[in-house]
Amino acid sequence: MKKLTWTPLLVLLAAMPASADTAEDLDQWFRDGYAALYVENAWDHADDFAQYLAEEIVVRSDDGVETTDVNGFVVDLLDGWRNEGWLGTDVADLETKLLNSTTAVFDIKWLDRNDDGSTELSCGWYLADKVGDKWLLSQYISMKCTD
């Protein structure tokens, strides 16, 4: 009789995913995946960004709202930044929030490094959606950094 009592629980546990998505999981996904591509020679990894981005990315800034794709969001920007002397960026601070099972927010402060030895902070807010079993960044808001 004890085997029958445990059977529904075992079936339920076997059907659950091996690991649930947590804010900590997503923080690591962002840091070790997407953000790591910006550390050095990001333009050499331009094709790798697509695995983290939705087909359309909504970008909000002081200039308004624009919908773009991976080329407009990453490739074109990387070329422009490189021409301006940008070398790469590191995560200075990251706060990750799981809003629900299919939506997460990344509030990030980047430390940009330039070829003249200078550094500067840039800040932004990313929204990621879970599509199927995959997380994809779908929105970006450029923000002024605050202390």
Contacts of range 99-102, beta carbons closer than 8 Å, 24 or more positions apart: 101/21, 101/130, 102/129, 102/130
**CATH architecture of structural domain 20-143:** Roll (3.10)
Section 131-137 average pLDDT: 94
Q: In the predicted model, is pLDDT for residue 8 greater than 90? A: no
Report how far residue 138's alpha carbon sits from residue 124's, in angstroms, rounded to the nearest whole number.
13
User: In the prediction, which pLDDT does 21 show?
Assistant: 85
pLDDT (tens digit per residue) in 74-107? 988 899 999 999 999 999 999 999 999 999 999 9
Q: Token pair of 10, please?
A: 């075992």
Band of pLDDT at residue 20, cut at 50, 70 and 90: low
Per the model's pLDDT, the better-predicted residue between 16 and 41 turns out to be 41
Which H, E and C letters describe 32-99, residue by residue? HHHHHHHCCCHHHHHHHHHHHEEEEEEEEECCEEEEECHHHHHHHHHHHHHHCCEEEEEEEEEEEEEE
Instruction: Tell me the domain boundaries of the chain.
Output: 20-143
pTM: 0.81
